[in-house]
Chains A and B, each alone.
Chain A
Amino acid sequence: MNKTKLAYSSSIAAILAIITIMVVTIWGELSPPFKAWLAGFTGHHWLSKSVLSLIVYFVGLAVFYLLPKNIGPNTVRRGLIFLIVTTLAGSLAVFLFFVWHYLV
């Protein structure tokens, strides 16, 4: 197993999972029918988001690992930096969205 490529694939898959959770969460709050549709899968919208996050992450990990990609000396580090920035931005976006949603 190429662990360097696995680390790169995990960074990109985690970025996709975080963006998916963020988009689905905000979209669900703005669209009650979408939130109800999400809840319909497992009986609870949060459970559906949990399952979705795992599917996006682990499928993404497998797909990016199997796709041909030349891993240069800075590829993994750039992936990690992008992941860190996405996490900070995603956390802030979710928090500020709920502050805004509560105030309006």
Chain B
Amino acid sequence: MMGIFSFLTYKPVLIGLHLGFAIVGIDAFLWYLGELVGKSQNHTRIRWASIIGVAGFALSWLFGGYYYVVNYGKLVKPVIFKGTAPWAHAVAMEAKEHIFLFIIPLAVTALILAFMDKEEFNKNNLRRATMVLVGLIAFLGLAIGAMGFIISAAARWG
């Protein structure tokens, strides 16, 4: 048990899990978006896409949050501040860590919409608004990923 915990909290593993689960979340919401765009009648598939999306983002939050709270502040942040791009922390990291907190409430809302009865969903004319919401979740995930790349690049190459 202790061995598994040590492995999961090993810094490169944490970063890999944070990024990997975020990609799962983004891809699942793009899948959900594709089902809506294609006017899919397969509600089981839409529901699975939303469940995988929420689970992906929640796990990304958990692993990324652990890395951020335990390691980032004492190991990465000082390196970025000593380099030529301190804005990578001051702007990109600060925006990333806070905008990330918007994702779970948005993703759970999209999940609830996926579980609405088909007739109720159509009667309330929700397809377009849900498409925009689901696309926005995927876009925010990608934008947060781009900020993660900036932060990582600033720490590695100054």
Contact = CB atoms under 8 A, between A and B. Distances in A.
B158 interface: no
A54 B104 contact: yes
Nearest to A81: B129
Interface centre among A11, A22, A75 (most CB of B within 10 A): A11
Contact of B104 (A53, A77, A94, A101): A53
Interface in B71-127: 87, 90-91, 94-95, 97-99, 101-102, 104-106, 108-109, 112-113, 115-117, 120, 123-126
Classify chain B: how many residues form its interface, as a range. Answer: 35 or more
A3 B116 contact: yes
Contacts of A10: 105, 108-109, 112
B112 A53 contact: no
- Top 8 A-B residue pairs of the complex, sorted by shortest distance between their CB atoms: A14-B105, A80-B129, A102-B90, A10-B109, A57-B105, A98-B94, A95-B95, A17-B105
A84 interface: yes
Classify chain A: how many residues form its interface, as a range. Answer: 35 or more
Contact of A87 (B65, B91, B102): B102
Contacts of B29: none
Contacts of A53: 101, 104-105
B113 A50 contact: no
Nearest to A21: B101
Given A4-B124, A13-B105, A98-B90, 5 more contacts: A4-B120, A10-B109, A18-B105, A53-B105, A80-B126
Contacts of B36: none
From DSSP, what is the main secondary structure of chain B's interface residues?
helix
From DSSP, what is the main secondary structure of chain A's interface residues?
helix
A95 B99 contact: yes
Contacts of A57: 104-105, 108
B61 interface: yes
Interface stretch (B1-9, B10-18, B37-45, B132-140): B132-140
A77 B116 contact: no
Contacts of B152: none
Contacts of B97: 46
Contacts of A83: 106, 109, 133
B105 A98 contact: no
Given A94-B98, A102-B91, A73 B124 contact: yes
Contacts of A43: 69
